[in-house]
A and B are shown apart, each in its own frame.
Chain A
């Protein structure tokens, strides 16, 4: 079983839709949860960071963590064509502090 599993997609939605991206993880020792966005042939860009269960909102983005279910989500409201990218969940902590464990990534396309 992989430490972090991410819905692979790909996901194609019309402009303005609400997008839901999800990951599950197996190690309850994980403490820090991040979402990165990666455009084609670019480096990952940090979108959201949280360490507690609950919701964290930043503009059109909401990160949700449920530690009891080992489940994390990223919601994008009013999606735009410029949101088209690969989204990566990443988790830190446990016995290997400093090492980020990534999901496989979800390719999102928002069409006008």
Chain B
């Protein structure tokens, strides 16, 4: 049973470009969560999604960031016009209940 899958594992972007991070939840899980881990900081919640619905986006920056979890396909976290401060590890988690299982993360580096 495959775990949570994320790709790419590493992503390098120049300032002003767009970053797209993908997450495929564990089989049977319909809840997806995105977290960000900045250097020397803990994991911070960004957004909680179910299929075609955003449940809680209280942790998402107001501009440039968006997330979706379409009926078919992976969840996507999209960052437009990236800045150096967006450099971080982005983790996706999925669940079918209270316990969340994390993917390996995407490490975004903005040059």
Contact = CB atoms under 8 A, between A and B. Distances in A.
Interface in B79-111: 91, 93, 98-105, 107
Contacts of A41: 107
A96 B33 CA distance: 13
Contacts of A88: 42-43
B59 interface: yes
Given A96-B58, A98-B33, A99-B56, A46 B101 contact: yes
A94 to B, nearest CB: 12
A44 B59 contact: no
B11 interface: no
Contacts of B12: none
A42 B41 CA distance: 15
Interface size class of B (residues with CB under 8 A): 20 to 34
Nearest to B50: A98
Contacts, number: 55
B5 to A, nearest CB: 11
A37 B45 CA distance: 17
Contacts of A103: 42
Contact of B98 (A42, A43, A51, A105): A51
Given A43-B91, A43-B104, A92 B42 contact: no
Contacts of B101: 46
A32 to B, nearest CB: 5
Contact of B102 (A45, A96, A99, A101): A45
Contacts of A43: 4, 91, 102-105
A38 to B, nearest CB: 9
Contacts of B4: 43
A74 to B, nearest CB: 16
B98 A101 contact: no
25 contacts: A34-B100, A42-B105, A43-B91, A43-B102, A43-B103, A43-B104, A43-B105, A44-B43, A44-B91, A44-B102, A46-B102, A88-B42, A92-B98, A96-B56, A98-B33, A98-B48, A99-B33, A99-B56, A99-B58, A99-B59, A100-B45, A102-B44, A103-B42, A104-B41, A105-B42
